[in-house]
Each structure stands twice: as structure tokens, then as C-alpha cells.
């Protein structure tokens, strides 16, 4: 790990005393606003981090891993976190867990807080609207490892763990076609996120392979919030060609689709067959039970935890790894059966 910037380094760079730097960083009233601004800007520029956890440790290790997830109330994310925590606790590491609430700005604040807290590594699943990734640069500069999972991007020396979403989307589409569906719809999350983009690409590949039409009614991009489901139901019921197969990028949203379709007098699976994604518990509670893609969240969490800790301990060089793929599985239930 490269040497960390200290207040003495900042003092030398700015030709001020270490006490002035310290007081400025702590917003002391005795320091002028202009001086504070100059010092804070230089601290941001050089990647100075206030290491609260490791300040008194000679080896500059906090035995703490930062984790950022989009939402904590997601069943899938809760299983991932359980897997990470299981591994971390077994070897004496602690977690600092935060949620971005699908906001890029909140994600930036969280990364800065974790950086200042002195975490040894960062595990992150991106917010839906994140598109500027400069907030990860200080981690990379200081060789603090970052591992992306589920919602990932390509950054140098930052490995990622996910499933083959392209293949999963293809299997979902192919299954619906094999059940006799000819006018298919995919209800997707934000296509700026690679996992949703790949699921739709795989779904389209299945349609193209079977020479089925792809048109304006083939895709609905949503925030996957059931509160907004009525607009989707309106599109389904208003389609000029009767939609007979739906692949939904979320079990929770798929279950709500089934409920609303039934209210509209549309039978599942007789009129429309439905496939979800994740194998959440709701998939076995909804009637009819939901066909879904099993996404092994706990296994993903265990692998993420094991990988980052092995890297921190020097057992492996995780930064030479690009992508780790987990196996998924199509689970066929009543919602898509003939």
C-alpha cells in the first residue's frame, strides 16, 4: 500500500503549520474561511483521508471492510450481506454497511465516509443512477481494493462478481417460447446498469433465434418499484398484439404484476406466462408460484468476503482478476407451465 498523506505533508505543501491544517480540517473558528477552503481543496486533491479507525495502529490496518448496497430492504441484498458478514466475522473483520438508496450523490457521500473511516477495502453494488465514477479514484490511488458485485462497472484493477446475466436472460426467453409464447415482453430495470442490459440482450437473442418479432412492446424499462406498476399493466392490456409471455427482472415486481393482471381479468399462466428473477421467497408465496432464475445471493456474499480478505492477507492478488461468474438456475413453477 502506498504511503498515506498526513497533515504534516499537507502543511509542507501549503507552507503552513500542522496545527493550522488540523484546525482547518476540524472547522475551527480560529482559522479564516479562505485558509480553510485552500486546505480542504488541497486535501481533496491529494486524497488525504482522516483515518479514525487506524490512527493508533502502527500497521495502518483497521480490520474493517466497507460495504455499499443500493437498498437494505432487498431480500437479495440481505442474503449477500449475510454471506459477507459470515466470512468477515470468522476471521475478525468488521463491516461498515451503508445504502445508496439508488442515488449517485448518496453513493459518493458513502464512499467518502468509508474512505475517511479508514476501511481496508470496499465492496459495492452500484446505485441505479450512478454514471460518474470519480469517487472511486482515491481508493484506487491509495491501493485500497474495490470489489464490485451484482451491479458492476469496468474499472482498472477492480474485480467484479456476478452471474452470466446474458445467459440467464436467454434461458428465460427460450423457456417462455418453448411454452408456446409468441408475443413476449421484458420488464427491465435501468438499462444503464450492465446486469439489466445483459438480461435484455439475452432475452432478445432468444427471440431472434426463434424468429420472433421485436417491437415497441418488447421492452418496458422501469425503476422496478411496484408503486408505479399500473402504467405497466396499462401497456400490457393495451398492446395491439396480445402479450402472452413476460420476463420480469425482479421477483417482487413480477409477483405484483401477477396480482394486478389477475385483477384485470387476465389469467396466469393460461393467458400470460410469467418468469421472474432472483428466487426471492415471494416467488413461492404468490399464486400461481413464480418461475424464476435462482441468483445465489448468499454464495455471492461468501465469495466476495473470502476474495477480498484473501487479497488483504496477501494470499491472492485479486486485482489481477477481472470477472468471477456464479452459476444461476432456471426454476420452473406454475406461472409459466402449460
- Is the pLDDT at 144 greater than 80? The verdict is yes
Give percent above pLDDT 90 in the chain: 69
pLDDT digits (tens, 9 = 90+) for 285-306: 999 999 999 999 999 999 999 9
Give the integer Cα–Cα distance in Å for 218 and 207: 10
Q: Supply the pLDDT for residue 149.
A: 97
How many Cα atoms are found within 13 Å in the side-chain-facing hemisphere of 222? 23
C-alpha to C-alpha distance for 216 and 16, rounded to whole angstroms: 63
Average pLDDT over the chain, rounded to an integer: 91
Residue that the C-alpha cell 401477477 belongs to: 258
Is residue 245 within 8 A of residue 206, CB to CB? The reply is no
What are 204's three cell numbers? 432478445
Taken in order 309, 313, 315, 316, is the CA torsion positive or negative? positive
Query: Which region, left, alpha or beta, applies to residue 214 given φ > 0 means left and ψ of -120 to 50 means alpha?
Result: beta
319 contacts 148 by C-beta, under 8 angstroms: no
Place of cell 398484439: 241
- Give this prediction's pTM: 0.81
What is the mean predicted confidence (pLDDT) over 246-264?
97
The CB density around residue 117, as the number of other CB atoms within 10 Å, is 17
Exposed/middle/buried for residue 289 (C-beta within 10 Å: 0-12, 13-18, 19+): middle
Tell me the pLDDT band of 3, cut-offs 50, 70 and 90.
low
- CB of 158 within 8 A of CB of 137? no
User: How many residues would you count in the chain?
Assistant: 338
Strand order in the sheet with 121-124: 94-99, 64-69, 121-124, 146-149, 160-163, 323-326
296 three-state secondary structure: coil
> Cβ atoms within 10 A of the Cβ of 60, count?
14
Judged against a pLDDT cut of 50, whether residue 59 lies above it is answered with no
What's the pLDDT at 8?
A: 82
Average pLDDT estimate for 96-100 = 96
- Nearest one of 303, 315, 13 to 160, comparing CA atoms: 303
Q: With contact defined as beta carbons under 8 Å apart, do 275 and 172 qualify?
A: yes
> What is the mean pLDDT of the segment spanning 218-239?
93
User: Rounded mean pLDDT of 135-140?
Assistant: 89
Q: Which band of pLDDT confidence, cut at 50, 70 and 90, is reported for residue 61?
A: confident
| Predicted pLDDT of residue 57 | 40
Strand residue runs (E) in the chain: 64-69, 94-99, 121-124, 146-149, 160-163, 184-188, 219-221, 245-248, 273-275, 292-294, 323-326, 329-331
Q: Is the pLDDT of residue 52 over 60?
A: no
Using pLDDT thresholds of 50, 70 and 90, give the confidence band for residue 217. confident
* Domains defined along the chain, listed by start: 7-46 (no CATH), 64-163+297-327 (3.40.50.2300), 165-295+330-336 (3.40.50.2300)
Which pLDDT value is given to residue 138?
85
Which SS3 state, helix, strand or coil, does residue 324 take?
A: strand
Mean pLDDT of 33-61: 70
More confident residue, 175 or 20: 175
Please say if the pLDDT value at position 53 is more than 50: no
Give the confidence band of 98 by pLDDT, cuts at 50, 70, 90: very high
For residues 148-155, give the mean pLDDT: 94
Q: pLDDT of 319-329, one tens digit each?
A: 777 899 999 99
Predicted pLDDT of residue 80: 97
Lowest mean pLDDT, pick from 41-55, 150-164, 244-258:
41-55
Average pLDDT over residues 275-283: 97
Work out the pLDDT band at 315, boundaries 50, 70, 90: confident
Q: What is the pLDDT of residue 50?
A: 61
Amino acid at each position: 500500500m502506498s504511503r498515506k498523506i498526513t497533515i504534516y505533508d499537507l502543511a509542507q505543501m501549503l507552507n503552513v503549520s500542522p496545527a493550522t491544517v488540523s484546525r482547518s480540517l476540524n472547522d475551527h473558528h480560529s482559522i479564516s474561511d479562505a485558509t480553510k477552503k485552500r486546505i480542504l481543496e488541497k486535501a481533496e486533491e491529494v486524497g488525504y483521508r482522516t483515518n479514525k479507525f487506524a490512527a493508533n495502529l502502527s500497521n495502518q490496518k483497521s480490520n474493517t471492510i466497507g460495504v455499499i448496497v443500493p437498498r437494505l430492504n432487498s431480500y437479495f441484498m440481505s442474503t449477500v450481506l449475510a454471506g459477507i458478514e459470515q466470512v468477515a466475522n470468522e476471521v475478525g473483520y468488521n463491516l461498515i454497511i451503508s445504502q445508496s438508496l439508488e442515488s449517485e450523490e448518496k453513493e459518493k457521500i458513502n464512499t467518502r465516509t468509508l474512505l475517511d473511516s479508514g476501511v481496508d477495502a470496499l465492496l459495492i453494488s452500484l446505485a441505479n443512477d450512478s454514471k460518474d465514477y470519480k469517487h472511486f479514484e482515491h481508493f484506487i490511488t491509495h491501493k485500497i481494493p474495490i470489489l464490485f458485485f451484482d451491479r458492476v462497472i469496468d474499472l482498472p484493477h477492480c474485480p467484479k462478481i456476478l452471474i452470466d446475466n446474458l445467459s440467464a436472460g436467454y434461458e428465460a426467453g427460450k423457456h417462455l417460447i418453448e411454452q408456446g409464447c409468441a408475443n413476449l415482453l421484458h420488464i427491465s430495470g435501468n438499462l444503464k446498469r450492465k446486469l439489466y442490459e445483459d438480461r435484455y440482450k439475452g432475452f432478445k437473442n432468444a427471440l431472434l433465434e426463434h424468429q420472433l418479432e421485436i417491437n415497441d412492446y418488447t421492452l418496458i424499462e422501469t425503476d422496478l418499484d411496484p408503486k408505479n406498476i399500473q402504467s405497466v399493466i396499462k401497456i400490457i392490456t393495451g398492446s395491439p398484439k396480445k402479450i402472452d409471455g413476460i420476463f420480469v427482472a425482479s421477483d417482487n415486481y413480477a409477483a405484483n404484476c401477477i396480482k394486478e393482471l389477475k385483477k384485470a381479468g387476465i389469467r396466469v399462466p393460461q393467458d400470460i406466462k410469467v418468469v421472474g428473477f432472483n428466487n426471492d421467497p415471494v416467488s413461492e408465496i404468490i399464486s400461481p408460484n413464480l418461475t424464476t432464475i435462482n441468483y445465489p445471493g448468499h454464495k455471492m456474499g461468501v465469495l466476495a468476503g473470502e476474495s477480498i480478505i484473501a487479497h488483504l492477507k496477501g494470499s491472492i492478488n485479486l486485482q489481477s482478476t477481472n470477472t468471477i461468474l456464479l452459476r444461476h438456475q432456471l426454476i420452473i413453477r406454475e406461472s409459466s407451465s402449460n
